[in-house]
Amino acid sequence: DLLGAETRAVLPCTSAPAQLRVLYANGVQITGESKSSFAKRGVPVDRVDVDFHHEPEAYEEIFEDILGADVIILAPGSLYTSIIPIFRVPGLAECVRKNSRALKILVSNLWVQAGETDLSISDPERKFHVSDMIRAYERNIPGGTAGLFDEVLCLSLRDVPASVLQRYAVEGKIPIYLDRDIVKKQGYTPLECGIFSKDALAERGVIQHDPAILAKAIKTLFIAKECFAGQKLQKGDCAPRTAVAHRVSIQPLLPCLKYHKIGEILERLEIRYGRRTGGNDLVADRIRTEIREIIWRHHDIPLAHLGYIQGIRCIDLEDWRRDQRWDNVFSFFDPDEGCIIIRRDQFDVPQKLEIAFLIALGESLLGDYATSKTMDSVEVNGLHLGKVYHLRLKDEKERTCYFSEKNLRHYLELTRMLPTGDPCHFTRLINGDEGFTPPGLFMGLMYAWYLENQFASHIEYKMTVLKIRQSDLIPEQLKMLSRRQKIISFFRDVVFSASAREGYDCTTVK
């Protein structure tokens, strides 16, 4: 009644709490709808998964209404965050297929959506086409698109003034192009209609779906659906059906409980200030609140990652002693004290604080893994050729580190550290007076980049090789590409693994 809708007009697909996981074409996997909406990864979405916190079940009323429907409409909405997740609930897609008598229509989106449909996975150099949208459904819905819809209703732009489209283009909004011939080859009937609001266009110069006109178009199709009988095209050029029905989290932790646990962990941390920092504008409660919100924004940070820090220290600018010759990172993890150290001025700008904290948090996962880090000069016949960086590890039994021995060694080799005859000794040769990113700092930068690529331009630059068309002309490029892919896989499958995100009690870490 409050919605002004009839009984059973609006029903939830399931009552099981769930979270979205978006996998991008470069291998990065991010949790949460909000992050996917604002992401600027520069690569297309590969697929979407849904993690349910317990076994999902759809309501019987939904199955009854779908089986009895005369018309089934896949309405316009966010491709990866609205329609596809619904069909990941077990039984819903199959129920739609069982209703073979209904008119089934997919209503195409009007505009390319940033973070979701701004790049095509089949050709990342162009924007989304309608055929790409159908491929995305085919790839992400269990069983593909067979039996879900036959007609695709698209916006006709013939009556839209060019000046309006030009203004939208200036704002970065581009219509989803109807590649009619390819859609037909896929086995669907593309239908162009003027289903936008003429009043909104005339009064406000905007293009949006008009519910009344859309309803009339669908009624017309329903009345004339006999014209389509026996004319359904053979399903053709779609991506392989790789979607799985659903995934239930192991040891589920509801977001509200995770938020509460984050607060409990931060309350136990010691917050210390520099000797020149007053307590009026920077208090422990403020720091805890800001850090809590940072962690909360990044759902992929498991509670286990917070188990290696004992406190946060704020250092005044005058007392900052970290060597900044090679970088402008104003935070680090001190393994001796188990503290994240952040320079005082970083707290004044929220984004700077977020970057500083995430880099140091990433570094903390290595813990006190190293006994020494030294640099030796390399000279031959009096000529300076470069330097050798020596990293010596603590014995595994004496080490406090997030990673197992196997994973730690794998990570070091991914950062181009070379193992020696001594299992605790790694080296790296550096040419001339060039600098390099040591494993600890690289861990922090990569950690921040994985969560939000805009936070670490240094890593983003390195990862641009993944966007370049590959050629075997220079074999070294292929080796570099392989290393980049492996380091992303390491962060996805080890650092931010599903098992790390689900129910880990960080209080067990000493």
pLDDT in tens, 260-274: 999 999 999 999 876
8-state DSSP, 206: -
Q: Cβ neighbours of residue 208 under 8 Å, at least 6 residues apart?
A: 110, 196, 197, 200
Place of tokens 């449909």: 117
Identify the pLDDT of residue 82. Answer: 84
Place of tokens 């060597």: 323
| Beta strands 311-315; 339-343: pairing state | parallel
* pLDDT tens digits for range 292-348: 999 999 999 999 999 999 999 999 988 898 888 778 899 999 999 999 999 999 999
Identify the pLDDT of residue 280. Answer: 45
Identify the pLDDT of residue 4. Answer: 61
Report yes or no: 369 and 395 within 8 Å, Cβ to Cβ: no
Identify the pLDDT of residue 118. Answer: 67
Identify the pLDDT of residue 371. Answer: 96
Partner residues linked to 49 by β-bridges: 21
pTM: 0.88
Identify the pLDDT of residue 229. Answer: 60
Question: Angle at which helices 255-268 and 284-297 pack, to 10 degrees?
Answer: 150
8-state DSSP, 393: E
| Beta strands 247-248; 29-31: pairing state | unpaired
Place of tokens 């990866």: 80
Please give the Cα distance from 206 to 197 (Å, whole number): 8
SS3 47: strand
- The DSSP result for 407-428, as a single string, is HHHHHHHHTTPEE-SSTTEEEE
Identify the pLDDT of residue 467. Answer: 78
Please give the Cα distance from 304 to 461 (Å, whole number): 29
Length of the chain: 510
Tokens describing residue 114: 């940033």
Please give the Cα distance from 292 to 479 (Å, whole number): 39
Identify the pLDDT of residue 510. Answer: 38
Identify the pLDDT of residue 228. Answer: 57
* pLDDT tens digits for range 27-53: 999 988 877 767 778 888 888 888 888
From first to last of its 510 residues, the chain has per-residue pLDDT tens of 565 667 888 888 898 888 888 999 999 999 888 777 677 788 888 888 888 888 888 999 999 999 999 999 997 778 888 888 999 999 999 999 999 999 999 998 877 777 666 677 777 667 788 999 999 999 999 899 999 999 999 887 777 778 877 887 777 778 888 899 999 999 999 998 888 888 887 788 778 888 888 899 999 999 887 665 655 555 555 545 556 565 655 556 788 999 999 999 999 999 987 665 555 445 788 899 999 999 999 999 999 999 999 999 999 988 898 888 778 899 999 999 999 999 999 999 999 999 999 999 999 999 999 999 999 999 998 899 999 999 999 999 999 999 999 999 999 999 999 999 999 999 999 999 888 899 999 999 999 999 998 888 888 888 888 877 777 777 888 888 899 999 999 999 999 987 665 544 444 443
- The DSSP result for 232-255, as a single string, is PPPP-S-------S-EEPSS---H
Report yes or no: 106 and 72 within 8 Å, Cβ to Cβ: no
